[in-house]
Every structure is written in structure tokens, then in C-alpha cells.
Structure 1
């Protein structure tokens, strides 16, 4: 009888739309503040967690614009050139790339310094300059230079790590300065190219780079031929 009365009471009570929209009192709305909670683990210790809050801003990826600055002046042993750098012709982009590849090759071979042999490999790794194409046309390839380098200088200790920028050897530094002087003495405008760099390596007769070139068939006649080709009008070596 009591159950029948309860059923009649529930059936006769109208349910409004507002009642349907009321939140369930058992589940209160989330707080807008952060509440710290702790989790304890015997290995990790106690870790504090923060509950999600609706007032937190969504994480947005931060876009970082990377600005690369390329220097077109390679190291020089003559400090007076630094103060008058505006009068010194700049190195071409291919020559700068060849120099960067030379440093990288020195690191790959685990050598402590960047020598003329590495500068020679840098020219060949760059690969698109007239100097590189001239070497390739005369049978002087990168793998041959690398083999001759290992034969001449030997393998480095496998546990040795080269510095990020292996310093130049004395002969390699003289080669860079020779290329600058050669460009200045010519009185021609334009940049210092990989052709100047290759001829500079050849000018260091006691250096490993010169000896490797001679072993692979490069000689004074080829050096003169390359120099004459670079002096012709319309010659481009970027």
C-alpha cells in the first residue's frame, strides 16, 4: 500500500526542463584552482601532481626562427688584415663550403688539425666548382685522396675525438694566406675562389696536400693550365 502511494506521488510530480539542466550534486563542478596531490613510490619517492584547471592557457608551440650567419672571411695569420677587412676580397660561397667540409673531414678522420690534405678533400666534397671538376676530370677523386691521406698520415686513435673546429696546420694557414695574396696581386675584382684554394695547396710543396696531388698525377703544368683557365673572361667560380 505504501509502495503504491509512493508510485502515485512520483507520477503526479511534474518534471520541469530546469530540473533536467541541474548538475548532479554528487559530481560538483571542477575547481578553477590548482590542487596539489602527491603520489608516493618506494623507488621514485614522492611526486607532486597538479589537477587540470580550466583557467590554464593551452600550450602553443613556440616557433623559433633560426638565423644562420655565414662568414666569407676565412682564418688568416696576418692580424693587420682584420682591421682592414673591407679592402680584402671575400671568399666565394663554394670556397667557404669547401673549408667547412675540410674541417668536417678532419673530424671524420679523427685528426686533431685541419691540414692541406683536408682542404683538398673539402674542395672535392663540395664538388660543383671548376677546381673540383678539373680534379675529377684528371682522375683525382675523393676516395683516392682519402686513401693517400691515410697512407701518408696514418689512422688516428679510435678513442680520440677531434675538436669541433680542428685548428689549421701551419701549411694550411699559409695556403689560405697565399690565396689571399695571389688575389690581391692580380688586381682583379671578384671573390677568392676554390681555384685559388687549390693552387694555394699546390704552392705548399712540403705539405701533405701537395704530395698527395703529385702522387695522383697533378703537376706544375696542370697548375698553370688551371690558372690560365681561371683568368679567361667569363670564367665563373662561385
Structure 2
């Protein structure tokens, strides 16, 4: 597992709802990740559930907390770069990451792996990477199915942590995406396409194996990489 000690953990405010069916969703107590060189902000994305039995037991819905920085194994990688050249994670990439954590929890996995990052991209659904995957026949259902084939089903009695820690492969995928954007020297945003290519860069990871099984290959990766280089590209 990749270390997360480089981040300060700050508890978010926790509010219990007295009437889940009528009041807006509130975030549960979650740690907010703070990078040493990227700003942070939180959004709350909560899933709704109108099942009567859920209302009777007053179980809180799964929620995802989004920050403007994503975990990095080496926060000092950009200290020599001028502030205006430090790339920032795009909002779609951040939301995809939050959805990846949420999907790992739904599947009752103890960690957020590269397979979860793929599912997060597809759940977000509006990004260039998601559209590229869908155009090549790679859907959320197929990725989820392949994930279960490869990793098995989670224990139904297991409760995933609020933020399932990243696997080493997933951390390297994030770092690859950041470093690739940093190498360009252009600043700007790290897009969902960078994240997708980061997953593909980890050849032995579940995400890479799932993509390969579903028809993604080096030619597709090069095609996506060329798209990123086009002027005005938004991921």
C-alpha cells in the first residue's frame, strides 16, 4: 500500500439527518486530504435511496467527499516548478476519483485499485476519457463484471473504510498522470485522459488487465495520447 502520511487529516463537520426522505444530504465525518502544494476544497456527492426499509433503519447513504487535490506519494515533486506551471487536477478527474472510492465501498473492497479508478471514470460519465471508453465498447457493467472475475466479490459482512486506501498500482497511476502533465511544462489541468493512461501505464495492475481484456491496447492509448496534445483539449 502507498503511504498517505504526507497528508494532514482534517475531520469534516458531521450532521445527522432527522428525516432522510425530506432533508438534503449532509456529508458524514470524513477526512479531507490536503496536499502540500495543491489547494483543497470539498464538495459532497450523496446517493439517494427511497427504499422504505432504508428509511426505517435510518442508515446514512454512501457519500463521496471531493477535494481539489488527489493523493501523491511524493508531494515535493513540483517544488522546483513555478506556481503557475504546477498542474491542477480537473474537476471531472476529481469527481471520477471520488466515484472510484465510492464504487470500491459498494463492492466492499478494502482498497481503491486501478479497477475502481476505471469504474469511477465511467460513473462520472461526462469526461473525454469516459466517452472514449464507451466509444470503444468499454462500459461500466463490463468493467465491474471483469473486476469481480479478477478480484472476486467482497465479503458481504465487510465494511469498507470511508476512504479505501489506494493500492500501490493506483497510487502510481495517479503519480504517472501528474508527472506526464508536469513534463509538458504547460501547467493547466490533469485530465481524466491522463488518469486513464496512468491506469494503462501499470501493466500488471487489475485495471490494465481489465482494459486489455475489453479490447483496449497500445494503439488506443496512443490515439488518446494524441488527443490530449490537441489545442483546446478538455478532458
Answer whether TM exceeds 0.5 for this pair.
yes
Q: Distance in 1 between matches of 2:214 and 2:138?
A: 6
The equivalent position to 1:188 in structure 2, one of 186, 189, 193, is 186
Given candidates 69, 72, 87, the residue that maps to 2:42 is: 69
SS at match of 1:235: coil
Partner residue in 1 for 2:171: 173
Aligned to 2:92: 94
Q: Structure 1 residues 218 and 160 mapped into 2: Cα distance closer, same or farther (>3 Å)?
A: same
1:98-139 deviation per Cα after TM superposition (whole angstroms, max 9, x unaligned): 000000000000000000000000001010011100000000
| Residue matched to 1:58 | none
The separation in 2 between residues aligned to 1:184 and 1:81, in whole angstroms, is 9
Deviation at 1:146, TM superposition (A): 0.1
- Write out aligned runs for 1:82-231 (5 A): 86=83, 88-231=86-229
Shift of 1:69: 2.8
C-alpha distance in 1 between matches for 2:104 and 2:132: 23
Q: Note the C-alpha offset of 1:81.
A: 4.4
Deviation at 1:83, TM superposition (A): 6.6
The alpha carbon displacement at 1:88 in A equals: 2.9
Where does residue 10 of structure 1 map in the other structure?
A: none
1:107/1:163 contact within 8 Å kept: yes
Is residue 72–residue 171 contact of structure 2 (8 Å, CA) maintained in 1? yes
For structure 2, the residue ranges without an aligned partner over 5 or more in a row are: 1-25, 28-40, 44-66
Query: Which structure 1 residue ranges, 5 or more long, are not aligned?
Result: 1-65
> TM-score, with normalisation over the residues of structure 1?
0.69
Q: Distance in 2 between matches of 1:82 and 1:190?
A: 14
User: Which aligned pairs between 1:18-37 and structure 2 lie closer than 5 A?
Assistant: none
Q: Is the 8 A contact 1:81 1:88 kept in 2?
A: no
Contact between 2:110 and 2:164, CA under 8 Å: does it hold in 1? yes
SS at match of 1:230: helix
TM-score by length of 2: 0.69
